[in-house]
Amino acid sequence: MAQSPLILTDVTKRFGNFTAVRDLSLEVPEGQIIGFLGPNGAGKSTSLRVSLGVIPPDEGDVRLFGDVPHILSLRRVGFLPEERGLYKKMTARETIAYFARLKGMSASAAKARADELMESTGLGEFRNTRVSKLSKGMAQKVQILSTLAHRPDFLILDEPFSGLDPVNQQVLEDLIRAEHARGATILFSTHVMEHAERLCDRIVMMARGRKVFDGTLPEAFATLEKGASLEVEEGFDLGAALAPKGFEAHRAADRGHGDAWRIALPKGAGPQDALRAAIEAGAPITGFAPDESRLRDVFVSLVGEADAAALDDPLAELEEGELA
């Protein structure tokens, strides 16, 4: 039976009178990509630091590869902290090789791995450039490469996409997929739900220090009430027309070219069933659109719009550091 790289059981962490994480239980199965989602202040970074033994929990149990975090188990981990930091006098190549050697690679293997990673991510011509001379974005890429240079069994990435422009966000997504393809288990935190939608096998959502969801993407979307939007010619009562067919419809915002209605889908029914019922009822249809649910909608449904608004806080993203 495969061993889960990380298991947290009833973990609580306080800082004075403030409880950053409360009663968190979490298992990261081997070989999966897990998204750890929530706004700034939700407890994600604290949970990751507790997972690595950087800070101890006040309550609960932490198991990293089946034991409390220790030097040997930590060699199997690649950790990218939210707060970036590199040795500015080192070159890009020296930096990546240095961190690889700290995790047990030989000098020659570490240098070869650094060259391989820089070439594959467009940093080859900067291998001998000091970190202090790199743009903030390129320096961030060097730190990301330093995290995975030793081919860790378990990657923990804290807000890895912050500060990256769209092109380099895609580069990082490709790197994550490549690491997963070679067998790595990956846990990454983010407040940008779209990355999780594209990458994850499972997601864990946090709000105010508590876990509010833990499951697969289909399970997350299944928590939402499904529906569709339908527009009909002005004056047609779609609600009355669909009621005998088992659909509930309510007037929505008028878009200026007919009456807009919101249709709730009963269990087992899809958007096309609602459209078919409207046609059979003789509705003069002028527009139709099935719901396109996103993970943000799931988060809103679980915690409310006020907490979900923190996902859009401009302070959640780094202001500088787009990769060159």
Rg (CA), the chain: 24
- CA-to-CA distance for 245 and 18, rounded, in angstroms? 53
- CA-to-CA distance for 22 and 10, rounded, in angstroms? 8
Write down the pLDDT at residue 256: 55
Sheet containing 227-232: order of strands: 248-251, 259-264, 227-232, 285-290
The burial class, CB within 10 Å (0-12 / 13-18 / 19+), for 37 is buried
Tokens of 67: 């034991």
Instruction: Look at phi and psi of residue 250 and say left if phi exceeds 0, alpha if psi is from -120 to 50, else beta.
Output: beta
- CA-to-CA distance for 227 and 248, rounded, in angstroms? 10
Q: Is the pLDDT of residue 176 over 70?
A: yes
| Residue in the block written with tokens 């209605």 | 261
Write down the pLDDT at residue 255: 56
Write down the pLDDT at residue 75: 94
- Sketch out the chain's domains with CATH numbers: 6-76+152-221 (3.40.50.300), 227-290 (3.30.70)
Taking each helix axis as running N to C, give the angle between helix 107-120 and helix 136-148, from 0 to 180 degrees, rounded to the nearest 10. Answer: 130
| Residue in the block written with tokens 């979900």 | 308
Average pLDDT on 282-290 reads 91
Write down the pLDDT at residue 157: 96
Q: SS3 for 126?
A: helix
Give the confidence band of 319 by pLDDT, cuts at 50, 70, 90: very low
For the chain, give the mean pLDDT. 89
Q: SS3 for 254?
A: coil
Residue pLDDT, tens place only, 194-228: 999 999 999 999 999 999 999 999 899 888 878 88
Residue pLDDT, tens place only, 35-57: 999 988 899 999 999 999 999 99
